[in-house]
Structure 1
Amino acid sequence: MKVLFTRTAIVLLGIGIVMSSCSKHAQSSKTGITYNDKKTGGYERFRKTHPTPGPGLVPIEGGTFVMGGSADQDVTYDYNNVKRRVTVPSFYMDETEVANQDWIDYMHWISVTYPEDHELYYNALPDTLVWRNALAYNEPYVDNYLRHPAFQDYPVVGVSWDQVQDYCVWRTDRVNENILRETGRMVAWNDLNGNGKKGKAAAPAASNKDPFNTDIYLNGQYTGPGIDGKKMIVDLSPNAKPTTGANGKGGKEPVRHVRMEDGILKQAYRLPSEAEWEYAALGLIGNTQFENIDDNKVYPWNGLGVRSSKRATRGMILANFKRGLGDNMGVGGYLNDKADITAPVRDFPPNDFGLYNMAGNVNEWVQDTYRQTSFEEVEDFNPFRGNEFSNKRLADASKGLYAKDKYGRPIKDASVSNKKLKYSELLALQQAQTANPNQPNTANAGAAVGAAPGQTPAEKNALEGKKFNPDNRGYNDTVNTTLYGTTSLVSDHSKVYKGGSWNDMAFWLNPATRRFMNEDESSSTVGFRCAMTLVGEPEIHPEGKPHYSIKQSKKFNAKQ
Structure 2
Amino acid sequence: MKNLVGFIKVGSLGLLIMFSVSACSIFGKKQRVSSTTGAAYGTRKSNLGFKPYDDRRLPNPPGMVYVQGGRTVLGSFEEDLYGSRDNIERTVTVNSFWMDETEITNSQWREYVFYQYNPQVLDLPKNIEIENPNSKGAADLAEPPEPFLPDYTGPTHSISSPKMMEDIIPDDNVWTSSFSFNDVYAENYYSNPGYNDYPVVGVSWRQVVDFAKWRTDNVNLSLIFEMDFEDLPLAFQEEFIVINETTGDPELAIGGQIIGDNNGEKQVISVEDFDDFQQEVVEFINDPLNKREFIERGIYLPQFRLPNEAEWEYAAKATIGTVYLDENEEYGRIYPWDGRSTRNPFGKRRGKQLANFKRGRGDYAGIAGNTNNDGSSIPEKVGQREPNDFNLFNMAGNVSEWVFDTYRPLSFGEFDDLNPVRKDGTGDSEENYGWQSSQVADSISYNPQLEYRSLVNDRSKVYKGGSWKDVAYWMAPGTRRFTDMDRASSTIGFRCAMISIGDDIKK
Structure 2 length-normalised TM: 0.72
Q: Which residues in structure 2 correspond to 1:513-552 (within 5 Å)?
A: 513-537=479-503
- The answer to whether the 8 Å contact 1:61/1:540 transfers is no
The amino acid across from 1:342 in the alignment is P
Report whether the alignment pairs 1:347 with 2:384. Answer: yes
In structure 2, the residue matched to 1:423 is none
1:201 and 2:266 correspond: yes
Q: Which runs of 4+ in 1 moved over 6 A?
A: 191-199, 481-485
Q: Which of 182, 203, 214 does residue 138 from structure 1 map onto?
A: 182
Q: Which amino acid aligns with 2:302?
A: Q
Alignment of 1:124-273 (within 5 A): 124-183=168-227, 200-202=265-267, 209=277, 211=279, 214=282, 216-217=284-285, 219=287, 259-273=294-308
> How does 1:230-379 map onto structure 2 within 5 Å?
259-290=294-325, 291-334=327-370, 335-379=372-416
Give the counterpart letter for 1:531 in structure 2: A
- Shift in Å at residue 88 of structure 1? 0.9
What amino acid is the match of 1:285?
I
Q: Distance in 1 between matches of 2:186 and 2:47?
A: 65
- Separation in 1, partners of 2:362, 2:90: 36
| Alignment partner of 1:26 is 2:61 | no
**Mapped contact 2:398–2:466 kept (Cα < 8 A):** yes
Distance 2:260 2:356 in 1: 47
> What SS class does the counterpart of residue 285 from structure 1 fall into?
helix
CA drift of 1:208 comes to 5.8
Distance 2:490 2:288 in 1: 42
Cα distance 1:220–1:372, how it changes in 2: closer, same or farther (>3 A)? Answer: closer
Whether contact under 8 Å (2:402, 2:493) holds in the other structure is yes
Give the conservation status (yes or no) of the 8 Å contact 1:33–1:40.
no
Task: Report the counterpart of residue 36 of structure 1 in structure 2.
Answer: 42
Secondary structure of the residue that 1:111 maps to in structure 2? coil
From 49, 53, 57, the equivalent of 1:46 is 53
- 2:463 counterpart SS class: strand
Compute the displacement of 1:99 (Å). Answer: 0.2
CA gap of 1:196–1:478, structure 2 versus 1, over 3 A, is closer
Cα distance per residue 1:498-541 (max 9 Å; x no partner):
0100010000010000000100001000000001112233x559
Report the 3-state secondary structure (helix = DSSP H, G, I; strand = E; otherwise coil) of the residue aligned with 2:413.
helix
When residues 71 and 101 of structure 1 are mapped into structure 2, their CA distance, relative to the original with a 3 A threshold, is same
Q: Which AA in structure 1 matches 2:40?
A: T
Structure 1 runs not aligned, ≥5 long = 1-13, 223-255, 389-470, 544-560
Distance 1:111 1:371 in 2: 38
Change beyond 3 A, Cα 1:277–1:207:
closer
Structure-2 change in CA distance of 1:363 and 1:332 (3 Å): same
Residues 319 and 337, structure 1, Cα contact 8 Å, conserved in 2: no
Cα distance, 1:221 vs. partner? 9.6
8 Å contact from structure 1 (residues 173, 213) kept in 2 = no
8 Å contact 2:154–2:165 — kept in the other structure? Answer: yes
Contact conserved, 1:177 with 1:212, CA < 8 A, in 2?
no
CA distance in 1 between partners of 2:221 and 2:210 (Å): 17
Paired residue type of 2:62:
P
Alpha-carbon separation, structure 1, partners of 2:21 and 2:422? 49
Q: Does structure 2 retain, via aligned residues, the 8 Å contact 1:363–1:498? A: yes
How far residue 82 of structure 1 moved from its aligned partner, in angstroms, is 1.3
User: How high is the sequence identity, in percent, across the aligned residues?
Assistant: 40
Match of 1:507 in 2: 473
Residue identity matched to 2:61: G
Corresponding position: 1:96 with 2:164: no
Instruction: Give the number of equivalent residue pairs.
Output: 409
| Matching residue of 2:89 | 83
Residues 496 and 514 of structure 1 are in contact (CA less than 8 Å); yes or no, is this contact kept in structure 2?
yes
Provide Cα deviations, 1:132-158, integer angstroms capped at 9, x if missing partner.
111110111000000111100000000
Out of 138-147 and 257-266, give the one that drifted further: 257-266
Distance in structure 2 (CA, Å) of the matches to 1:360 and 1:263:
38
2:236: which partner in 1? none
Residue 258 of structure 1: CA displacement?
6.3
Q: TM-score, normalization: structure 1?
A: 0.66
Q: Conserved in 2, the CA contact under 8 Å of 1:86 and 1:383?
A: yes
Contact 2:118 2:275 in 1 (8 A): no
Amino acid at match of 1:357: N
CA distance in 2, matches of 1:208, 1:274: 37
Superposed CA RMSD in Å reads 3.6
**1:24 Cα deviation (Å)?**
2.9
Q: 1:355-434 maps to which residues of 2 (within 5 A)?
A: 355-387=392-424
Say which SS state the counterpart of residue 118 (structure 2) adopts: helix
Aligned residue for 1:59?
66
Instruction: Answer yes or no: is the 8 Å Cα contact 2:78–2:473 preserved in 1.
Output: no
Structure 1 position 294, deviation (Å): 2.1
Q: Is the 8 A contact 2:414 2:427 kept in 1?
A: no
CA distance in structure 2 between the partners assigned to 1:208 and 1:166 by the alignment: 20
Q: Which runs of 5+ in 2 are unaligned?
A: 1-15, 120-149, 156-162, 230-239, 242-250, 254-258, 431-435
Structure 1: distance between partners of 2:81 and 2:105: 31
3-state SS in 2 of match to 1:164: helix
Separation in structure 1 between the aligned mates of residue 190 and residue 420 of structure 2, nearest angstrom: 34
- Structure 1 residue 19: Cα displacement: 7.7
Deviations, residues 38-59 of structure 1 (Å, cap 9, x unaligned): 6692311122246443111111
For the 8 Å contact 1:111–1:121, the answer to whether it is kept is no
Question: Judging changes above 3 Å, is the alpha-carbon distance between structure 1 residues 340 and 167 closer, same or farther for their aligned structure 2 residues?
Answer: same
- Distance (whole Å) between structure 2 residues aligned to residue 359 and residue 150 of structure 1: 23
1:438-477 correspondence to structure 2 within 5 Å:
474=429
Which range is displaced more, 378-387 or 500-509?
A: 378-387
Distance 1:257 1:510 in 2: 40
| Cα contact 2:402–2:494 (8 A) shared by 1 | yes
Whole-Å separation in 2 of the counterparts to 1:213 and 1:26: 33
Q: 1:299 Cα deviation (Å)?
A: 0.6
What CA distance in whole angstroms lies between the structure 2 residues aligned with 1:382 and 1:361?
27
Give CA-to-partner distance per residue, 1:455-493, whole Å, 9 cap, x none. xxxxxxxxxxxxxxxx676569549x9999953111100
Deviation of 1:325 (Å): 1.2
> Residue 404 of structure 2 aligns to a residue in which SS?
strand
- Residue 378 of structure 2 aligns with an amino acid whose one-letter code is I
Amino acid corresponding to residue 80 of structure 2 in structure 1: D
Aligned match for 1:489, one of 455, 458, 471: 455
Query: For the structure 1 residues 42 and 53, does the alpha-carbon distance in structure 2 shift closer, same or farther, using more than 3 Å as the test?
Result: same
